[in-house]
Amino acid sequence: EEFCVLLPEIPPGEAEGVAERLREAIAAEHLPVGAEMITVSVGVAHHRAGDAGTDLFTRADQAMYQAKYAGGNAVAVAPQSPERDATSSDTRAAD
């Protein structure tokens, strides 16, 4: 499943910390859904001046898939500047 959390009053560096704490909290839960541990892959993107419609959500979605492809249970941050869009985002995997 996918969901979105908007943090309009949180600076970019703090939003990444919120995402990491969310990831850790979910991984620490022992939910009765079978033998597998529940984890979350989080994509973080920051609003840019001039963003149109779904631009922010597209970047967050791309970052989330980068976290998944890196092995999951991770936070990936989309580039903040358009010039860095061609490069991979920063991915922080869990230990």
- Mean pLDDT in order along the chain per 10 residues (95 residues): 90 91 91 77 93 92 96 93 54 47
pLDDT of residue 35: 67
pLDDT of residue 87: 43
Closest CA to 42 of 14, 25, 22, 13: 22
- Helices within 34-89 (DSSP H only): 55-69
Is the model's pTM score more than 0.85? no
pLDDT of residue 2: 87
Closest CA to 44 of 77, 18, 66, 12: 77
Q: How far is CA 58 from the centre of its chain?
A: 12
What span, in angstroms and rounded, lies between the C-alpha atoms of 71 and 11?
27
Whose structure tokens read 């908007």? 6
Q: At 90, which amino acid appears? A: D
